[in-house]
Structure 1
């Protein structure tokens, strides 16, 4: 039986998180999915960002509970943003692996450059 895994991909917008997540063959979850409408269009609303991250966490728990390995691709700029996922992994006995994506691609969600610059300044290695 394969070991249960929770893989976290962190990085700035446009760093390749989504592309890598889609290639891993795991259940792929990210906050951006919360903002997709029925027609497959991305409709970001900053007021709902907290709800998007709660959704991500609950989806992660749901799949780990059902013994499915998961990859979560979010920016995770601050270390504390990862803490809840460490607890989720521990709860289900999943091995956790954290990767940092450092590619330099165009953000597929058109994140404004000033937002990316702020994230870069606040980034915790």
Structure 2
């Protein structure tokens, strides 16, 4: 059965590292900010577009019969809702994994921002 795996966790928790170990197409909104030279250039004004791109890519690969793993923070439950609908639409088994590691985050998210995200976290 086809799978859609959602990996959620705070920045620096190991989401991307875990996603890379799974045998599935690996997607995350952060990939939207990587240019053709492979450099990461985050722009908070484009965050909504990045998440839309991620959902569209997820749907494309699910429509092709691929297993997909999406590694985003998914701090609030509603942030996973569209992905849950995609799993239903394509009859994919949905798995939700939570990363709780504490490594330096590679995107320079401030400690204050992470603290705020932690307060908003829904189990």
Q: TM-score, normalised by structure 2?
A: 0.99
SS at match of 1:85: helix
1:71-118, Cα deviation, whole Å (9 max, x unpaired): 000000000001100001100000000000000000011111111111
Q: 1:115 & 1:91 partners in 2: Cα distance?
A: 34
Superposition deviation, residue 49 in structure 1: 0.4
- The answer for the alignment partner of 1:100 in structure 2 is 98
Aligned alpha-carbon RMSD (Å): 0.5
Corresponding pairs, count = 123
Deviation string 1:46-86 (CA, Å, 9 cap, x unpaired) is: 01000000000000000000000000000000000011000
What are the ranges of 5 or more consecutive residues in structure 2 without an aligned counterpart? none
State the alpha-carbon separation in 2 of the partners of residues 19 and 34 from structure 1. 18
4+ long deviations beyond 2 Å: none
Displacement, 1:25? 1.4
Q: 1:18 — aligned with what?
A: 16
Describe the SS at the equivalent of 1:13: coil
Q: Unaligned regions of 5+ residues in structure 1, if any?
A: none
